[in-house]
Structure 1
Amino acid sequence: MSLIQVTDLTFAYDGSYDNIFENVSFHIDSDWKLGFTGRNGRGKTTFLQLLQGKYDYSGHITASVAFDYFPFHVEHTEEHTLDVIRHMGPDYEHWELLREMSLLKLSEDVLYRPFSSLSNGEQTKVMLAALFLKENSFLLIDEPTNHLDMEARELVSSYLRGKKGFILVSHDRAFLDNCIDHILSINKTGIEIQKGNFTDWWRNKEQQDQYELAENEKLKKDMKRLAESAKRTSNWSDEVEKTKNGTRNSGSKVDKGYIGHKAAKMMKRSKSLEQRQQSAMEEKSKLLKNVESSDSLKIPQLSYHKNQLVELEGVSILYSNRKVCSDIIFTIDQGDRIALYGKNGSGKSSIIKMIIGEDITHTGTFRMGSQLRISYVSQDTSHLQGDLTEYARHHGIDESLFKAILRKLDFSRLQFEKDISSFSGGQKKKVLLAKSLCEPAHLFIWDEPLNFIDVISRMQIEELLLEYAPTILFVEHDREFCENIATKTIEL
């Protein structure tokens, strides 16, 4: 066990006036299993890069362990997997590698295949097995779940539960809960560490948010009451002045000592009220800084003239005369929220492409309602560019609603001025989802919509879908999201 100490860390990218981190201090035990969470664009990957010494910063990061990063960059993917592992640099016995591979249910033959021939899931498992062979190493694991199906996620999560000494960036709540013992969270005001899993951290955050909201309301009422008292005090002070003037005009003798004493009391009361108002304002200003926004939104809906929108009966999909999936039977009715399950390569994306109108070779019966309007979110975000206003105009969607959804998903107003091509992977995905939610449609089809999207935004998207209740078919490997959203599941 040793400490990784971060002291007064301050960092901003060249040419930027905004600090990503400012005077951040904390320490990490090198035996901890840390889940790293925070909104997209808050600096999770940047922090991992700072630990690796990739950028200059002010402050200090001290550690007696080496940092290794996942995913490891493989330069020559045509090499055998065993040679790729050797390039990663671990000093190990062959039996140790086989032990790690066995835990991840990888067969020995993958070592003698070209690395490029492995599936994304197999590549992920190989890299984790190799990197955990290193001694005196602290592993920085950046979003390993993006290419894993649900079964592989459960396997990798169980594997990590048996390890120690890592920071894990993941937005999958069930994945995090299964394998971590501390949470490292980037909030609006800095970085904090708590003991426990993600659910523990979220429960504590909700309690803190509720406390701060209640305190904020109480202080608002106090400030209103103090302002009214200050106004009354001011009116009383004016009355004292009128008394002085009025008594002098009537010819009566003015008791200046009494009036002066009364004026002094008014002044003292006024000062006391002013100090209490200032104190309440200062206390109020410390609240709500880490409360995430949750404004309600009105999403457009379309109703179809028939209950049944899509029907597949005995459908088999073929690629190069090879069946990808066979004898698929299901219907999509209005109000259904359908989770389409299956291992990678089982035909999920092919079924989606067939429904959205692409030419997919198939047998069996496929029926779809005429003039059915579909809103589709693909996995690919590489085509996104330009500013958000022009993007909304080009796609004919309500710009105000589009930006309101993005604001709910933690886009700052400064973000609205940037080119979409400069957004993070999660922010680009949010653009596609916000666009989809703005489109009047009978059926929404989302293909792995949550890749790269932060966990708080995932929960907000859940809230929107549950409140809005659209008809939706989706492929997603986040188990908790599926369980919360789906009214029907189809497993290939």
Structure 2
Amino acid sequence: MPLLTLDNLSLAFGLQPLLDQASLTIESGERVCLLGRNGEGKSTLLKIVSGEVTPDGGTVRLDDGAVLAVLPQNLPAQDRRSAYEVVASAFPETGSLLSQFHALSQSADEQSLEQLMKVQERLEALDGWRLDQKVTAILAQYRIDPDQTLDTLSGGWQRRVLLARALVGEPDILLLDEPTNHLDVPAIAWLEEALGQFRGALLFVSHDRAFIRSMATRIVELDRGHLISFAANYDRYLELKEKALEEEDRQNALFDKRLKQEEVWIRQGIKARRTRNMGRVRALKAMREERQQRRERGGTAVFAVEDAARSGKLVVETLEAGFGYSQDQAIIEDLNITVMRGDKIGLIGENGTGKTTLVRLLLGELEATEGSIRLGTNREVAYFDQLRAELDLSLNALDNLAEGREFIDINGQSKHVLGYLQEFLFSPERARSPVSVFSGGERARLLLAKLFSKPANILVLDEPTNDLDVETLELLESQLVEFAGTVVVISHDREFLDNVVTDTLFLNGSGKVANYVGGYSDWRRQGGRFPAEERVGKPSGKASKSGAGKAAKPQKQPTSQKPVKLSYKLKLELEQLPGKIEVLEQDVAQLQTEVTATDFYSRPSGEVTAALDKLAEIEARLEQTMERWMALTEQAT
């Protein structure tokens, strides 16, 4: 018997149904990837399976006794619970009691002791200590500090805690919605390894092609309300899908030709009417109805980069360049690179290693604190921001793009703004909707439309692949490859980097930047490794909620070397650093609260940019201060 059965599900929010008699079965142990274009209803389908959304019709059946768990797409904001409390919450009553027990056990007053005994009795009745062992065991397995609060963890470590919560109940099926968004490559690799050890069934939504290739044993596509299953891996699915579309086009062409012939017959003269076959007339009416009900496959986005005049042959050259917010806090050191017109540069590194700082140096937005940077001539830069700060959520798509214009010039051609937006799959009605109601994929497409409407010979893209469906992603890749100007990309999408970039800059987190020829796979073949792949430790440090977190704090390793005695000056610095770290963490937390407020992006753009720049600056200072404290601590031990 199937583990999960979806039978004739129907759901509609507008004129076209998201689900139209959709059916699916999943067996135990399968890893099923759910694909589909942005807006097809993939996330909604997962919510139907988990019980968050009730369909208009049809049924969802889970095998008797089967347990279902969900790894949420969005990370929690300002969750001050400890990792232990989060994981224990997988068992609602028992988890609450275990959290109370741990809190009360820290108190010594008589009232707390009395309450502790009551909680202990209830836990024993519910077999709570066995569940406590399971929570403790999975925290240890994932190397999670049980006392670390969720709001102090990076996006990758938060995802790790949430996965522990999902798996501690030993579910039979796990649902995941875009689990790799905003994770760096080491975090994605860890997630792949953890899910590979899960023996239950997986149903997940993802547009990360490398992740899909690694995880999926079957592909299911949501297309125009129907679920189509392909018993194949991702590459085989692409072949089968292409053949299926060709066959669909052939059948539609034959149907339309026959319909046209029947329409000619019905309109023939008097002689034909006297011999008209009424059965044929009824068949024609049925064909008309079938043609009217046919849902055409949505168009593919069509866009091109607006070329500016060519930049100088040299785009930027650095000589022993470095940057830091103070003398002992270098983020970039000894940078020696030359970027020429037409280069496609990819930046990789763990979150918090200074990739955005490096880009700002190359663009001339920051001035090197050591060495020199020579900028080329005639540079026209267009910037794609992963936080979508360029979009005003209070305005609609039309006003965000047009900025008061009715027509825009694209490569020498004048285009109506609505027509231009239709090339990015925005209908006139959707173009007049406020951006605040757009999905992540729609916001990404709108930002691309805005980016490509301005003349540029240098494109800078910060995590452009998040939320884009595969078809739009592949079109973006082809446009970047054909673009005659220079491209600088920050991305954790391994396949995107392989398909686009010609050179890779790797930031190891200690200020060093290494230059490699080729993309991500070429970097790996040349011995490239992330520090996290060689580091075992606990998570530490504040992190931005966009996932720009800090690396885990390494555990002290035993050593046979004689400790180095610190000078008086270094001892004094070591004593002062914890206070500095505390102040910086408070500043980061305050700014994070500000930028995650619902009305933040409705402020004037100057205020938004200033706040984001300040947050990036303080986070970088915090990172460098933490690294300095760790280095001095290791010297002193």
Query: TM-score, length-normalised on structure 2?
Result: 0.63
Structure 2 partner of 1:68: 69
Number of matched pairs: 456
**Residue 338 of structure 1, CA deviation:** 1.4
What is the CA–CA distance in structure 2 between the aligned matches of 1:489 and 1:57, rounded to whole Å? 47
Letter in structure 2 aligned against 1:67: L
Contact 1:101 1:129 in 2 (8 A): no
Contact 1:173 1:199 in 2 (8 A): no
Query: Residue 84 of structure 1: SS of its match in structure 2?
Result: helix
Change (3 A) 1:401 1:374: farther
1:310 paired with 2:316, answer yes
1:183 paired with 2:219, answer yes
Letter in structure 1 aligned against 2:231: K
Contact 1:317 1:347 in 2 (8 A): no
Letter in structure 1 aligned against 2:44: T
Pick from 188, 203, 207: which aligns with 1:153? 188
1:132 paired with 2:141, answer no
Query: Residue 20 of structure 1: SS of its match in structure 2?
Result: strand
Moved more, 17-26 or 450-459: 17-26
**Residue 476 of structure 1, CA deviation:** 1.1
Letter in structure 2 aligned against 1:6: L
Query: Residue 462 of structure 1: SS of its match in structure 2?
Result: helix
Structure 1 partner of 2:400: 391
What is the CA–CA distance in structure 1 between the aligned matches of 2:77 and 2:339, rounded to whole Å? 45
Structure 1 partner of 2:233: 197
1:461 paired with 2:476, answer yes
Structure 2 partner of 1:336: 343
Letter in structure 1 aligned against 2:70: Y
Q: Which runs of 5+ in 2 are unaligned?
A: 96-129, 508-637
Change (3 A) 1:275 1:490: farther
What is the CA–CA distance in structure 2 between the aligned matches of 1:187 and 1:341, rounded to whole Å? 34
1:440 paired with 2:455, answer yes
Change (3 A) 1:343 1:423: same
**Aligned pairs (5 A) from 1:219-258:** 226=261
What is the CA–CA distance in structure 1 between the aligned matches of 2:375 and 2:500, rounded to whole Å? 23
What is the CA–CA distance in structure 2 between the aligned matches of 1:460 and 1:325, rounded to whole Å? 34
Contact 1:158 1:178 in 2 (8 A): no
Pick from 26, 29, 42: which aligns with 1:28? 26
Letter in structure 2 aligned against 1:475: I
What is the CA–CA distance in structure 2 between the aligned matches of 1:112 and 1:465, rounded to whole Å? 45
What is the CA–CA distance in structure 1 between the aligned matches of 2:251 and 2:2, rounded to whole Å? 40
**Residue 474 of structure 1, CA deviation:** 0.7
**Residue 177 of structure 1, CA deviation:** 1.1
Structure 1 partner of 2:557: none
What is the CA–CA distance in structure 2 between the aligned matches of 1:230 and 1:464, rounded to whole Å? 47
Q: Which runs of 5+ in 1 are unaligned?
A: 239-262
Pick from 355, 379, 388: which aligns with 1:372? 379
Structure 2 partner of 1:3: 3
Contact 1:51 1:67 in 2 (8 A): no
**Residue 402 of structure 1, CA deviation:** 6.2
What is the CA–CA distance in structure 2 between the aligned matches of 1:176 and 1:481, rounded to whole Å? 13
Q: What's the RMSD between the two structures over aligned residues?
A: 3.6
Change (3 A) 1:52 1:390: same
Contact 2:5 2:25 in 1 (8 A): yes
Pick from 458, 475, 478: which aligns with 2:490? 475
Query: Residue 349 of structure 1: SS of its match in structure 2?
Result: helix
Structure 2 partner of 1:255: none
Contact 1:213 1:288 in 2 (8 A): no
Letter in structure 2 aligned against 1:384: D
Letter in structure 2 aligned against 1:113: Q
Pick from 414, 438, 443: which aligns with 1:423? 438
Structure 1 partner of 2:89: 87
Q: C-alpha offsets along residues 449-489 of structure 1, whole Å, 9 cap, x if unaligned?
A: 11122222212222333344542111111111111111222
Pick from 385, 388, 398: which aligns with 1:381? 388
Pick from 46, 51, 61: which aligns with 1:53? 51
Change (3 A) 1:11 1:214: closer
What is the CA–CA distance in structure 2 between the aligned matches of 1:305 and 1:360, rounded to whole Å? 21
Contact 1:101 1:126 in 2 (8 A): no
Query: Residue 168 of structure 2: SS of its match in structure 1?
Result: coil
What is the CA–CA distance in structure 2 between the aligned matches of 1:387 and 1:428, rounded to whole Å? 11
Query: Residue 17 of structure 2: SS of its match in structure 1?
Result: coil
1:116 paired with 2:151, answer yes
Query: Residue 293 of structure 1: SS of its match in structure 2?
Result: coil
Change (3 A) 1:278 1:319: farther
Change (3 A) 1:486 1:214: farther
Structure 2 partner of 1:206: 242
Contact 1:97 1:133 in 2 (8 A): no
Q: C-alpha offsets along residues 334-388 of structure 1, whole Å, 9 cap, x if unaligned?
A: 2222111111111111122334454466432222234421100111126532122
Query: TM-score, length-normalised on structure 1?
Result: 0.80
Query: Residue 180 of structure 2: SS of its match in structure 1?
Result: helix
Structure 2 partner of 1:259: none
Pick from 165, 168, 172: which aligns with 2:201? 165
